[in-house]
Chains A and B, each alone.
Chain A
Amino acid sequence: MAVAAPVAAFVAAIVLMWVYLGTWDGNPDIISAERIAQLQKGAGGDAADLDATLTLDATRVATHFVTWANCVLAAALALALAWNFTALAGERKVAGPASQTRSLGLWVALLVAYLGATGLLWWLLIVPHDLGALIDVPRHLWGGAPAFIAGLAVYWAGTAWGASRVMKPSVPFASFLV
């Protein structure tokens, strides 16, 4: 379970993200009104050119967000696997109920690491591409937040399901899954 659970959570999350961000691919509706107005002004009323440009813009935006989502989910998977293996090794020192939560500290540390990783990935994969010129702030949130939350879910579910019954108390709220 230490490997299977996080991988299963990762696969489920990545499929969901692909399906969700697939609706962005080539969809002009995600492009901001400012960008559309700017293009309309430049295109001189040629609707075909406008549509083609908007489609390309949307595809470009979707591609960056898919890459970002892939990386965020991969980071969550890696951290969940890292915790599971460390907890498995630490289980050899758990002799009583009190230390069943001994890996909680590491779990929180890796959660913080996940938050840091998502920030870093945003800065590396989204910020440099000036997507702000193509989509507005709420759209950024609609692209970033689901992947961020899906990553959290991968980390939590991957550790809660992947932890042995001894170490499960080290994962917050994992008892809901026992």
Chain B
Amino acid sequence: MTAKMLLGVGGTGAKVVEAILHCCGAGLGPATLQVGFIDQDKSNGNVSRANQTLTAYMEARQNWRGDGAHHIEGSDLLLTEVSTFKRSLWTPHPDDNSSLESALGDLGGDGKLFDLLFTQEEQRLKLDIGYQARAHVGSAAMTAAIRKESDPFWVDIVNKLVAAGGGDGVDLLLVGSAFGGTGAAGFPTVARLLRRELDKKGIKKGARISGVLMLPYFGFTPPKRGETVARADELLPQTKAALRYYHDLFEREHVFDDAYLVGWNSKFELGYHNPGKGGQINPALLPELIAAVGACGFFAGEPPKQPPKERVATRVLVSARKEEHRFGWGDLPPVRDEKPNEVYAQLGRQIRFAAAWKHWQPILNRDAGVFSGSYRKRAWFKGYGLDGLDTTDAAFAGAMASMDRYVDQFAEWALTIQLLSRQSGGSAEMAFDLWDMNGFLSQPSFRKDENSPLTVPVARTLSEAAYASAFDRAVGSRAGDTPLTTAADLMRALNARPRSSRNSGLGGIVEAMHSNSAVAAGLDGGN
């Protein structure tokens, strides 16, 4: 089986990885996926959040699709087996006082060239909060780090890449931005160095390296005068120069097999600015979902059939929406061309499942005040064997908590995308026609503060009425389709006799909740 690897480079790359993980949770990803992050700013908030999502995903999958007491079988929920490299995050220069000068060390006679290429300020720029929109600084520093790197993360990646490339094949995807610091610096640098490692071993046929390159799609408040950080008005010129560079690179060198470019013609205004570290935690945005779906398409694709010599240069894939002021399911690229409805089916079901979980979780957990003793006689309770479960053991608690964390992360991510998409249509508000998760809000009148980071108040649990409304409204049926099933239909299905006996523990009822959250029968979801 072809190995699938994913590297998120920089904060934006981490956000795309977060989106890919959510697509994997919905069943759009490959069977297995190894994930890693590269960021010079080791406490970057975007990377931290993506790492939290990664941890939540892996824990939930371990609890629900492993060999434990609560096992789900025959479902796309948490389908992809995600693992990390030896470490999930690689920081090229982990020392807080490191600078380009210290990273390169004694340059001897090359010192004058160094002075010619980099200003004194750039040479001594502290790298603890990343490369601060200085991609050329980052590129030099990262190359230096990789060249003398004996870091287990890097060695592990190279070894796995080479082993898989020489065996059943490997698909490696890098995601990063064309703007900013770490992403802009690391995206081409890491790709080229990895390609060279493969070339050194003579591996040309079994390895695909592709990249998702994010063009500027969000804006932020200008930083204070004198701060050496990324500025919104510098992003476009930087990107223009970067695209020229990539154009030349694609013409000259076989680094990427496919390149996915994702941008937005009217930027999402974040309304605030944090230069780096934990404060740089930007909300999930719609272009990241587009990139994630494209990434899933890359992992679902077949390895190239032509020998490398006959292949054309990098294939560039571009996605665009049909209408400027509206974004619907048809605007997301398909993961598989032969399944045009797959993204709608899988993500739609996941969103509805999240609503169902938020109502059923305290009931399955038998929380006081929610769970009634009379439930023990109900058809769903008996049918799914819940009476025989030990609710006091660690496996039960672990399974419930891990799924809860995963669903919370997913709901917050999807809700954030929805809430921030309306303001991105340029002069007019954009109609966001993917999902409506307002029913998940713990404060129904919630409005984003224009000048501060968005913290979406997702309800911990949903009452029956709130759940029914959230479930029924979350995803609409597509034109020509039959109306979607409702929360009441799900209730009926749970009370019917279970279909599969391959699940165990809580797996049966959770699998039934997930499968009966489907947006329509006969669409392209499912295996």
Answer yes or no: are A and B bound together in one complex.
yes
The segment from A50-58, A116-124, A136-144, A165-173 that touches chain B is A165-173
Q: In whole angstroms, what is the CA distance A94 to B374 when docked?
A: 16
Tell me whether A97 is interfacial, beta carbon within 8 Å: yes
Q: Is the CB of A95 within 8 A of B378?
A: no
Q: In whole angstroms, what is the CA distance A68 to B242 when docked?
A: 94
Q: Is the CB of B492 within 8 A of A178?
A: no
Q: In whole angstroms, what is the CA distance A94 to B495 when docked?
A: 12
Chain B residues, CB < 8 A from A97: 363, 372, 375, 378, 380
Q: Could you tell me the distance in whole angstroms from the C-beta of A90 to the nearest C-beta in chain B?
A: 10
Given A164-B495, A169-B374, A169-B377: A95 and B488 within 8 A (CB)? yes
Tell me whether A96 is interfacial, beta carbon within 8 Å: yes
Q: Could you tell me the distance in whole angstroms from the C-beta of B517 to the nearest C-beta in chain A?
A: 12
Chain A residues, CB < 8 A from B344: none
Q: Please report whether the interface of chain A is mostly helix, strand, loop or mixed according to DSSP.
A: helix
Question: Contacting A91 at CB < 8 Å: which of B374, B377, B488, B490?
Answer: B488
Chain B residues, CB < 8 A from A92: 486, 488
Q: In whole angstroms, what is the CA distance A143 to B380 when docked?
A: 43
Q: Is the CB of B382 within 8 A of A95?
A: no
Kindly report which residue of chain A lies nearest to residue B489, judged by CB atoms. Answer: A92
Chain A residues, CB < 8 A from B490: 95
Given A91-B492, A178-B379: A99 and B464 within 8 A (CB)? yes
Q: Is the CB of A94 within 8 A of B491?
A: yes
Q: In whole angstroms, what is the CA distance A5 to B92 when docked?
A: 73
Tell me whether A59 is interfacial, beta carbon within 8 Å: no
Q: Is the CB of B491 within 8 A of A166?
A: yes
Question: Contacting B464 at CB < 8 Å: which of A95, A101, A168, A175?
Answer: A95
Tell me whether A159 is interfacial, beta carbon within 8 Å: no
Q: Is the CB of B372 within 8 A of A95?
A: no
Q: Could you tell me the distance in whole angstroms from the C-beta of B61 to the nearest C-beta in chain A?
A: 27
Q: Is the CB of B495 within 8 A of A95?
A: no
Q: Is the CB of B488 within 8 A of A93?
A: yes
Interface residue ranges of A64-118 to B (CB < 8 Å):
91-101
Number of interface residues of B (CB under 8 A): 24
Kindly report which residue of chain B lies nearest to residue A175, judged by CB atoms. Answer: B377
Chain B residues, CB < 8 A from A99: 464
Q: Could you tell me the distance in whole angstroms from the C-beta of A32 to the nearest C-beta in chain B?
A: 48
Tell me whether B467 is interfacial, beta carbon within 8 Å: yes
Given A96-B363, A97-B363, A178-B382: A166 and B492 within 8 A (CB)? yes
Q: Is the CB of B495 within 8 A of A166?
A: yes
Q: Could you tell me the distance in whole angstroms from the C-beta of A2 to the nearest C-beta in chain B?
A: 14
Chain A residues, CB < 8 A from B374: 101, 169
Most buried by B among A96, A99, A101, A169: A96
Chain A residues, CB < 8 A from B464: 95-96, 98-99
Q: In whole angstroms, what is the CA distance A89 to B468 when docked?
A: 16
Q: In whole angstroms, what is the CA distance A98 to B462 when docked?
A: 13
Kindly report which residue of chain A lies nearest to residue B464, judged by CB atoms. Answer: A96
Q: In whole angstroms, what is the CA distance A168 to B282 when docked?
A: 49
Q: Is the CB of A95 within 8 A of B468?
A: yes
Chain A residues, CB < 8 A from B410: none
Q: Is the CB of B380 within 8 A of A94?
A: no
Q: Could you tell me the distance in whole angstroms from the C-beta of B367 to the nearest C-beta in chain A?
A: 13
Chain B residues, CB < 8 A from A94: 488, 491
Q: In whole angstroms, what is the CA distance A91 to B491 when docked?
A: 9
Most buried by A among B359, B380, B382, B491: B491
Q: Is the CB of B496 within 8 A of A95?
A: no
Interface residues of B (CB under 8 A from A): 359-360, 363, 372, 374-375, 377-380, 382, 464-465, 467-468, 471, 486-488, 490-492, 495-496
Pick 11 A–B contacts, CB within 8 A, sort by A. A93-B488, A95-B468, A96-B360, A97-B375, A97-B380, A98-B464, A164-B495, A166-B492, A168-B379, A178-B377, A178-B379
Beyond A96-B363, A97-B380, 15 additional contacts (C-beta under 8 Å) are A91-B492, A94-B488, A95-B464, A95-B488, A95-B491, A96-B359, A96-B360, A96-B464, A97-B363, A97-B378, A100-B378, A164-B495, A166-B492, A168-B379, A175-B377
